[in-house]
Amino acid sequence: MKALKTISGFSGAVLLIYWWLGIIFDYHVSFYFLIAGLILFGLVFCPLALLDKHRRENRWDTIRDDKKKQPHSQAEGGKKNKRKGYGVSNSPYRERSSGLRWEGGSVYGANAKRGSRRSFLRRK
C-alpha cells in the first residue's frame, strides 16, 4: 500500500508538471496529462493517504489504551528504576570538574585548585 501510494503520488505530480509545461509550450495533449494527474491524485493518492493516516491514528490509540490498562509494575528483581533518562545533572556531555583546574583569574596569578570556589584575595 505504501508503494502504491508513493508511486501514484509521484506519478500524479509528474503528470501535473507535464500539464503545466504543456500549457506553456502549447502541447495539444496537455489536457490528457491534467486528467491523468487529477485521477491519480484524487482517486488513488488522497484516499490511500487518508486511509494510512486513519490506520496510524488507530494504532496509536490502541497503544495508549493498552498502556492505560496495564498496572504499574516495577522493574525486574523488585527494584524500582530511578533513572528515566538524561537530565541536567547527569548529561553525558556535561563538563565534569574532576582533578586539578588551573584558574588564572585571581590577582595572585594562576593557581591550581581542586573544587574550591570564590578564592579571590583570600591568600594568607
Number of domains in the chain: 1
pLDDT digits (tens, 9 = 90+) for 33-61: 999 999 999 999 999 999 999 999 999 99
Residues 6+ apart with CB under 8 A from 79: none
DSSP letter string, 12-54: HHHHHHHHHHHHHHT-TTHHHHHHHHHHIIIIIIHHHHHHHHH
| Residue 29 covered by a domain | yes
| Residue 98 covered by a domain | no
| Residue 107 covered by a domain | no
What is residue 98's predicted lDDT score, i.e. its pLDDT?
Answer: 58
| Residue 109 covered by a domain | no
95 pLDDT tier (thresholds 50, 70, 90): low
Residues 6+ apart with CB under 8 A from 77: none
pLDDT digits (tens, 9 = 90+) for 12-32: 999 999 999 999 998 888 899
CA distances from 111 to 34, 40, 93, 96 (A): 78, 74, 26, 19
What is residue 43's predicted lDDT score, i.e. its pLDDT?
Answer: 93
Question: Averaged over 80-101, what is the pLDDT?
Answer: 62
Domain of 30, in residue numbers: 2-68
Output the nine-digit C-alpha cell for 4. 502504491
What is residue 73's predicted lDDT score, i.e. its pLDDT?
Answer: 57
What is residue 17's predicted lDDT score, i.e. its pLDDT?
Answer: 93
| Residue 79 covered by a domain | no
| Residue 111 covered by a domain | no
d(CA 27, CA 25): 6
| Residue 6 covered by a domain | yes
Residues 6+ apart with CB under 8 A from 94: 88
| Residue 78 covered by a domain | no
